A and B are shown apart, each in its own frame.
Chain A
């Protein structure tokens, strides 16, 4: 195992790099450098994702076409599908075809429904985006008051009973996976009480249970992060300084404490947002929502490779966009985080 030499570490500056002339301009603008670095990373990720989606079919052991059609189909049919998917051509030509297709918005044709993959995805994307977006909103809006209030009341070991109850409830919510909560919600509110539609999509009432099922875990997780971070900040010397100024409680917590947890909360929020995007797969399946989450499951079961490639690509791009949005928000709201990384 190679060990970093102490001399090397000592020469690596913690602040903005005093690099050669080309980087001197960026060093003066750590935020810009941070954003550019993250954009570059997203671009590299995108290229990797495209390659991964393309090679997905080739990575399947054995003959993917035979696997998709099953053992009973005639060799002619297999060959026909192979030609339709372009798998008979050389790898370089396939890649070229794939990339030009992407540029022109052609993601291929679904094997099972014989419809263009791009059309299917565009039909189904809105439901998934709505579901993930509403859930994130609920999680973010709900987590801050809960986290801040519990931290303020529990500081220094006060109100241990309340603290235990709240942290217990949050802990359970974090531990229960979204799809289990979804099943439970369907059972209680959809079936037993009959208060809300247990499945389907379209009206606001249809969205309530899926959004709650998807948001509960992330909300609890985020609230715990806010709680822990708030407890840390409340013990910081600068909060003692602020207390020595005898500021009103609202000023103390909102102006002095809250901005200092934004960085951590945003980073955790990024994890939550990305998790929500993935969580739609399970929740859509439980509530039979016509989004891309239920599409990915059905296409994997049916070995519909063009559709799988398309959905994987869309999900990956959603994750990249979510990460990028969080990074941009960090650059705007928590400039120190960008300094530390530049």
Chain B
């Protein structure tokens, strides 16, 4: 992986229990490999015909073989041959693969494709068949088997090296190096090699495990190491013949094979994980009921939130609160904008209102109610049905929020089929009508299509049409137009407005774009750092009192914006989140400067490739 630095990460990994266990195991393996034959060689070769073919006993934990030799000693002595043969085979695979991969990368395109196709074909055959094929050529000896297992692994590393080289060669910094006139060889040495080597080593470690097992398999089949030499596979082969009498003779070498194989595989995993640790999310706490009357008056607020707090489990297991006591009310038919920079907690608040936060979120609220339904608890079946019919969601990226494997028609009809028990034909007719109302052309054909066959704007209109399938009281739209270009944005907002008029639903529109929200909403709620900082009438921006809001407004460019002056930015948050200061040049609205100002969205990816 480009840019990773293995060494510090490796040291950190060694400090984890698994890393330490792997290190200890490797040390033990190295010691037995180095000193086993010298210390135990005599014991392993001492014949004792009186004690031949004994079962497991205190003197011989693994029993003895045909000639009365101690099997535990033989297993330990066999470590050296088994490990060295596996390492030799791995070295052949890695070096051979690297040579093929690099040669392929240097070859002209046509030849490179031919080599890659051949590697592809070889990869489609399992290693055992390749190893058997090669062992026919090089003979059923230890060296022959090492060559066979080694060559069987060459395609794996050829593919890995050529993929790595291609991926690194495609990165921006290599392009940059080339544009700066770096010679190809220097580019390869400085940029490619350091980035190709770490993953290559990781895979070599994992592959050593495969080589070890392959070798054991070949020797077990009688096609590898031949008597009088012995490795674990050979011992297993001899033990398996006696398995009807004495299982320990086979289990002993089997244990050695499995333990070493697992150790090497773990080494690969530990190396590849580096210092990355799995996040530990705390269990979901029991949700507190808030006791809400079930009756819903028509003029009662659709959404009623008081002192909402949402925390997430951090990597070290502690809870990090992201929303700190938000109050929010949405009246029937009201269009409320929830504005703030990324990380302000606006999406989390909306997802809490919808009851759709994941199991790693911890939600607490004095009151979190959607039309009489307490959203801090898992809903009852009846409440689920009501939620399905009365709430609909529209998300930022219409491609990833539509299921890629289901047709548009199925995704539209299922809500009514499930919750309103509409018959399929009726639901389909309704879906057709819904698509036509949001102005999706050729609606009948679209119903049979998959999402990837539609344009981005059309997908988002499909999402809105989902809302028209039911009788929503609330449409939660989370950045519904961010992924779309400006013309399509207008169409989508028009469709959203139409859906709202038609169904009489309230809308909770989440956006970073204060200009968009001001033209669309009845009321705007400004959030920052998990708190509501201000509520505003969008027609009266000049009344904004909170400096953060004024900063956000100042960032919006218009036709009179002076393009020669630097962009205004909202100042990074003060540690205690007191009144945030603003860029001095931007405090005055008339001093607004510079085009594409998207307040407070540093580093957020935009889909169209336009830098934010």
Which chain A residues have a beta carbon within 8 Å of chain B's beta carbons? 1-4, 6, 9, 41, 44-45, 48, 52, 56, 59-61, 67, 155-158, 160, 172, 175-177, 179-180, 183-184, 186-188, 191-192, 198, 235-248, 251, 255-256, 259-260, 262, 274-275, 277-279, 281-282, 285-286, 296-297, 300-301, 308, 312, 315-316, 319-320, 323, 334-336, 339
Contacts and interface: CB of A to CB of B under 8 A. Distances in A.
A177 B279 contact: no
A180 B257 CA distance: 9
B601 interface: no
A315 to B, nearest CB: 5
B137 A56 contact: yes
Given A2-B105, A176-B258, A184-B251, A44 B121 contact: yes
Contact of B128 (A180, A186, A238, A281): A281
A247 B184 CA distance: 56
Contact of A1 (B106, B279, B313, B385): B106
Contact of B136 (A259, A308, A320): A308
Nearest to A56: B136
A187 B251 contact: yes
A187 B243 CA distance: 6
B489 interface: no
B187 interface: yes
A176 B236 CA distance: 14
- Report, nearest first, the 8 A-B pairs whose CB atoms are least far apart: A157-B281, A156-B359, A246-B388, A259-B405, A278-B126, A187-B247, A244-B393, A237-B401
Contact of A282 (B138, B139, B217, B250): B217
A248 B388 CA distance: 10
B390 to A, nearest CB: 10
Nearest to A276: B126
Most buried by B among A1, A191, A260: A1
A158 B166 contact: no
Contacts of B250: 183, 187
A158 B222 contact: no
Contact of B223 (A6, A243, A300, A316): A300
6 contacts: A2-B105, A3-B170, A198-B244, A237-B400, A240-B356, A260-B404
B526 interface: no
Contacts of B363: none
A247 B418 contact: yes
A157 B280 contact: yes
Interface of B: 102, 105-106, 117-118, 120-121, 124-129, 132-133, 135-140, 165-166, 169-170, 174-175, 178, 184-185, 187-188, 192, 213, 216-217, 220-223, 236, 239-240, 243-244, 247, 250-251, 254, 257-258, 261-262, 265, 279-284, 313, 354, 356, 358-360, 379, 384-385, 387-388, 391-393, 395, 397, 400-406, 414-415, 418-419, 450, 452, 463, 466, 476
Contacts of A59: 137
Contacts of A180: 236, 254, 257-258
B169 A183 contact: no
Contact of A48 (B121, B360, B476): B121
A282 B125 CA distance: 16
B129 A278 contact: yes
A9 B220 CA distance: 49
A296 B126 contact: no
A198 B241 CA distance: 12
A246 B105 CA distance: 51
Given A238-B403, A282-B128, A4 B133 contact: no
A278 B121 contact: no
Given A186-B243, A245-B388, A56 B133 contact: yes
A199 to B, nearest CB: 9
Contacts of A255: 406, 414
B169 A4 contact: yes
Contacts of A158: 281, 283-284, 359
Nearest to B452: A336
B140 A300 contact: yes
A319 B129 contact: yes
Contacts of B419: 245-246
Contacts of B223: 297, 300-301
Interface SS of chain A: helix
Given A175-B261, A247-B388, A320-B124, 13 more contacts: A1-B106, A45-B121, A157-B281, A176-B258, A184-B254, A187-B247, A235-B358, A239-B403, A241-B403, A245-B388, A262-B405, A275-B126, A278-B128
Nearest to A312: B133
Contacts of B415: 245, 247
Contacts of A191: 243-244, 247
A52 to B, nearest CB: 7
A66 to B, nearest CB: 13
A3 B169 contact: yes
B236 A256 contact: no
A260 B178 contact: no
A323 B258 contact: no
Nearest to B137: A59
B356 A177 contact: no
Contacts of B356: 240, 243-244
B384 A274 contact: no
Given A177-B217, A256-B406, A241 B393 contact: yes
Contact of A238 (B118, B184, B240, B401): B401
A238 B404 CA distance: 8
B292 to A, nearest CB: 18
B175 A6 contact: yes
Contact of B221 (A155, A277, A282, A308): A282
A177 B132 contact: no
Contacts of A48: 118, 121
Given A56-B133, A316-B129, A241 B402 contact: yes
A244 B254 contact: no
Most buried by B among A157, A259, A285, A315: A157
B391 A319 contact: no
Nearest to A239: B403
Contacts of A245: 388, 414-415, 418-419, 466
A300 B254 contact: no
Contacts of A67: 139
Nearest to A171: B262
Contacts of A316: 125, 129
A336 B406 CA distance: 11
Contacts of A296: 132
B350 to A, nearest CB: 11
Nearest to B410: A255
Contacts of B127: 278
B358 A156 contact: yes
B470 to A, nearest CB: 9
B184 A2 contact: yes
Contacts of B450: 335-336
A256 B402 CA distance: 10
A183 B284 contact: no
A158 B466 CA distance: 31
B254 to A, nearest CB: 5
Contacts of B178: 3
B217 A157 contact: no
B344 to A, nearest CB: 20
A130 to B, nearest CB: 19
Contacts of A237: 395, 397, 400-401
Contacts of A6: 175
Nearest to B400: A237
A157 B358 CA distance: 10
